[in-house]
C-alpha cells in the first residue's frame, strides 16, 4: 500500500513538473517574440528603418509635415509611442519632416475650382479635402474659403483644403431676410458625413453652416495592444482626420447644438 501511494505521489509530481515546464515554455514563446517600440524621433528615416528592422519591426511613412525644429527627412512623430510593447513584425507609422515652411500660401478665394487647383499645384502644394455648400453670394464652383489662409505662416501640412460654392436650392426662399440676394437661412440642416475629412475643412464646413463645435476629442489610431497578433496595423486615418462625429451623419441639427468631432492623432 505504501508503495502504491509513493507511485501516485511520483506521478503527481511529474505532472506538476510537466505543467510548469509547459507554462514556462509558452511564456517565453509569447514574450520572447515581443519587443519595445524604440524612440525614432529626430532620426533620419533611413536610419530609423535600420533600427526598426534590427528589432523585427517594419516602418511606414504615412504623413509629411513642415517643421521649424526638425530638419527635412527626419522623423517628427511616430505611432505607437516609444516603449510600447508589441509583437515582432508590427508596423510603426512615421511622420516625416519637410523642414521649415518655405512656400507662400496662394490666395485662391473667389476663383473657379479648376483654376484654383492649378494655382495650388503650381505653388508647390497639394489639394486636400474639397467640400461643397450652397452659397448665394458667388457663382457655383467658386472657392468660398480655403485652409490655410493666404500667406499663412507656421503651416504644418503641404495640403490646401477648399470649400466650394454649390447651387442654392430655389425653394430656400426668395426675398427673405438674413443674407444678400434674398436667401433665407433654413431653420435646420442635415448633418453631413465628415468622417475622413481633414479637421480644418470639416470645421470650416460646420462654421459656414452656422453650427458650432464642442471641444475636439483626439483618438490614437495606431495604439498596439500588448500580446496582440503580429503584423501590420489595420488601415488607419492619418493624423488630423475626422474619425467620428456626434450627431451622426443624416441627423437634423440646428445652431443650438454643439457638434462633437473626434480627430485622429
pLDDT of residue 75: 92
pLDDT along the chain (265 residues), means of 10: 65 71 56 81 91 89 84 89 87 89 87 92 85 78 84 79 76 37 48 82 78 79 47 56 86 81 83
pLDDT of residue 257: 80
pLDDT of residue 241: 82
CATH of 101-186, one of 3.40.50.150, 3.90.180.10, 3.30.10.20, 3.40.1360.10: 3.30.10.20
The 8-class DSSP code of residue 171 comes to: G
Q: What pTM does this model have?
A: 0.47
Give 81: exposed, middle or buried? Use CB within 10 Å, 0-12, 13-18, 19+.
Answer: middle
pLDDT of residue 177: 30
Q: Where in the chain is the domain with CATH 3.30.10.20?
A: 34-97, 101-186, 189-265
Residues 264 and 235 sit within 8 Å (Cβ to Cβ): no
Q: Which long-range contacts (CB under 8 A, 24 or more apart) does 192-197 make?
A: 192/249, 193/245, 193/249, 193/250, 194/242, 194/245, 194/249, 194/261, 195/242, 195/243, 195/244, 195/245, 195/249, 196/237, 196/241, 196/242, 197/129, 197/131, 197/241, 197/242
Phi–psi pair at 177, nearest 5 degrees: -110, 165
Q: Is 189-265 a domain of CATH 3.40.50.2000?
A: no
Please state the length of the chain. 265
Residue tagged 509558452 (cell numbers): 26
Which residues, 6+ apart, have CB-to-CB distance to 116 below 8 Å? 108, 143, 146, 162
- CA pair distance 228, 9, nearest whole angstrom: 39
- CA pair distance 23, 45, nearest whole angstrom: 40
Characterize the bridge pairing of strands 258-264 and 212-213.
parallel
Peptide bond into 192 cis (omega under 30): no
Q: Which candidate, 66, 64, 149, 150, places its Cα nearest to that of 102? A: 66
pLDDT of residue 237: 67
CATH of 34-97, one of 3.30.930.10, 3.90.470.10, 3.40.228.10, 3.30.10.20: 3.30.10.20
Amino acid at each position: 500500500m505504501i508503495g502504491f501511494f509513493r507511485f501516485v505521489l511520483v506521478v503527481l509530481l511529474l505532472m506538476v513538473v510537466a505543467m510548469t515546464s509547459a507554462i514556462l515554455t509558452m511564456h517565453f514563446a509569447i514574450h520572447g517574440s515581443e519587443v519595445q517600440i524604440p524612440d525614432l524621433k529626430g532620426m533620419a528615416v533611413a536610419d530609423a528603418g535600420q533600427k526598426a528592422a534590427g528589432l523585427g519591426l517594419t516602418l511606414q511613412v504615412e504623413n509629411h509635415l513642415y517643421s521649424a525644429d526638425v530638419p527635412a527627412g527626419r522623423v517628427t512623430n511616430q505611432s505607437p509611442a516609444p516603449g510600447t510593447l508589441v509583437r515582432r513584425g508590427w508596423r510603426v507609422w512615421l511622420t516625416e519632416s519637410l523642414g521649415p515652411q518655405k512656400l507662400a500660401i496662394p490666395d485662391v478665394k473667389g476663383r473657379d475650382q479648376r483654376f484654383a487647383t492649378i494655382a495650388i499645384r503650381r505653388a508647390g502644394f497639394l489639394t486636400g479635402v474639397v467640400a461643397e455648400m450652397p452659397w448665394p453670394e458667388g457663382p457655383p464652383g467658386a472657392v468660398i474659403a480655403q485652409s490655410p489662409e493666404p500667406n499663412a505662416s507656421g503651416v504644418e501640412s503641404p495640403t490646401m483644403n477648399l470649400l466650394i460654392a454649390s447651387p442654392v436650392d430655389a425653394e430656400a426662399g426668395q426675398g427673405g431676410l438674413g443674407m444678400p440676394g434674398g436667401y433665407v437661412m433654413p431653420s435646420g440642416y442635415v448633418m453631413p458625413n465628415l468622417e475622413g475629412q481633414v479637421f480644418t475643412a470639416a470645421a470650416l464646413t460646420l462654421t459656414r453652416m452656422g453650427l458650432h463645435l464642442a471641444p475636439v476629442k483626439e483618438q490614437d489610431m495606431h495604439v498596439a495592444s500588448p500580446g496582440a497578433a503580429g503584423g501590420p496595423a489595420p488601415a488607419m486615418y492619418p493624423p488630423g482626420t475626422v474619425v467620428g462625429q456626434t450627431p451622426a451623419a443624416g441627423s437634423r441639427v440646428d445652431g443650438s447644438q454643439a457638434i462633437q468631432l473626434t480627430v485622429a492623432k
